[in-house]
Amino acid sequence: MLIRQARRVDMLARLYAKLVDADLLESIPSQPLRHLRWSYILTKRHRQSVILEVEELASTLSSLQVPLVVLKGAAYNCAKLSPADGRIFSDIDILLPKSLLPTAESLLLRKGWLSECKDSYDQKYYRKWMHELPPMRHTKRLTELDVHHAILPETAIVSPSSRRILSRIVAIEGMPNVYRLCNEDLILHSATHLFFDGEMTHALRDLEDVNSLLSAYCETDEDWERLLSRGLELELTYPLYYALYYCSTFFGAVIPEPVLKKSLGLTKMSRRHQLFMRFVFDRGLLPDHASCASRGSALARWLLYVRSHYLKMPFHLLIPHLAYKSVVLPIKKRMNESNPPKTKTLAQLLAEKNTQVQ
């Protein structure tokens, strides 16, 4: 059961790393241990690939003459941070100034990075409203890349200043011109990514990332005070409180009581609001597995999905967006399936190209 639950949230390898740290491998039966060990071996190979990919990106974007800031899993791996051990992730996230995104996109296109979004609406959605370019994938290596200019959309209910975030980045040793967020921002960004998201598939894994970062960087009263001050400065007091509360509740993280109370006070959250959010997060943060389901789990996940859209887009944008995704897009897909495009031979494509040139 544990193997199935851990696999659902991509935590098999992370679980193996935790068992190694606790010196408990000898107490694990051989068959489950084999699953855990092979998952861990795969993450080590994955880690090497990510580092090589980031080095290639740094070279590709070097003409921008700005630091290449890696986020989330890529940052953990490149900087050898505590959440990296046994961590696997689907894409690489980087942060660049917004003004440089068109130039960065052109440089990436020349090196084989193509947009994953084929739909014109999705292209407009990302470029006009989101905090990143449309997701890209390399044509040969099939690596996925997200190029961000902020950690939240400009249309979101809060919009942390990218200028302030970039002013405190930290160089990654051994990787020229590759940087990560400062310690406080690592925690805040991880918490924001988790508690603003509506897709809770890997929520428990992401919460464990925050827990590992807190263990590494919050040891003294001064560390906690810097974290709270930075959360207030970047307008991220809500995700910070949720992160502290659930790291304490789920993982037994030692959060000083004054810190937790001050964090809650900064949110100015009502008692009714607290109870509602605990109802949805108590269920939504668990693995999406039948053994973890309880009464209200499906409702909680649906509410978190709707909430994430509400937090990121005002109603005058949100309603048309949801209507397109739930009504228009399925109709377009059915029409495309019933009328598939005719495939053309290479000779026909070349003939059309010659005609266009002429």
Which of 57, 35, 73 lies closest to 107 in space, CA to CA?
57
Task: List pLDDT tens digits, range 321-351.
Answer: 777 667 776 776 676 666 655 555 555 555 5
Q: Confirm whether 312 is domain-assigned.
A: yes
Q: What is the pLDDT of residue 357?
A: 44
Q: Which two tokens stand for residue 54?
A: 């980031």
Please name the helix (run of DSSP H) or strand (run of DSSP E) that holds residue 134, with its range, or none.
Answer: none
Q: Confirm whether 306 is domain-assigned.
A: yes
Domain residues for the domain of 335 are 183-340
Distance CA 325, CA 333 (A): 11
Task: List pLDDT tens digits, range 161-211.
Answer: 999 999 999 999 999 999 999 999 999 999 999 999 878 888 999 999 999
Q: Confirm whether 121 is domain-assigned.
A: no
- The answer to whether 303 and 280 are in contact (CB under 8 A) is yes
**Burial of 92: CB neighbours in 10 Å, binned 0-12, 13-18, 19+:** buried
Q: What is the pLDDT of residue 352?
A: 55
What are the backbone angles phi and psi of residue 307, rounded to the nearest 5°?
A: -60, -40
Q: What is the pLDDT of residue 358?
A: 44
Question: DSSP label at 145?
Answer: E
Which of 201, 204, 196 lies closest to 307 in space, CA to CA?
196
Distance CA 36, CA 30 (A): 10
Q: Confirm whether 309 is domain-assigned.
A: yes
Distance CA 59, CA 61 (A): 6
- The answer to whether 155 and 313 are in contact (CB under 8 A) is yes
CB atoms near residue 256 (< 10 Å): 12
Q: Confirm whether 164 is domain-assigned.
A: no
Task: Please name the residue that has the structure tokens 């909680």.
Answer: 300
- The answer to whether 255 and 248 are in contact (CB under 8 A) is yes
Count of structural domains, the chain: 1
Q: Confirm whether 199 is domain-assigned.
A: yes
Distance CA 44, CA 22 (A): 20
Q: What is the pLDDT of residue 286?
A: 93
**Does the predicted TM-score (pTM) go above 0.85?**
yes
Distance CA 218, CA 216 (A): 6
Name the stretches of the chain with pLDDT < 50: 353, 356-358
Q: What is the pLDDT of residue 49?
A: 86
Edge-to-edge strand ranges of the sheet holding 170-171: 113-115, 136-138, 144-148, 91-95, 68-71, 178-180, 170-171
Long-range contacts, 131-137 (Cβ 8 Å, 24+): 131/156, 133/101, 133/105, 135/91, 136/108, 137/113
What are the backbone angles phi and psi of residue 51, rounded to the nearest 5°?
A: -60, -45
DSSP lists the bridge partners of residue 148 as 95, 132
Please name the helix (run of DSSP H) or strand (run of DSSP E) that holds residue 196, with its range, or none.
Answer: none
Amino acid at 322: L
Q: Confirm whether 329 is domain-assigned.
A: yes
Assign 70 to helix, strand or coil: strand
The sign of the dihedral angle between the CA atoms of 256, 260, 265, 267 is: positive
Which of 214, 209, 195 lies closest to 285 in space, CA to CA?
195
The sign of the dihedral angle between the CA atoms of 217, 226, 71, 51 is: negative
Distance CA 145, CA 94 (A): 8
Q: Confirm whether 207 is domain-assigned.
A: yes
Q: What is the pLDDT of residue 309?
A: 83
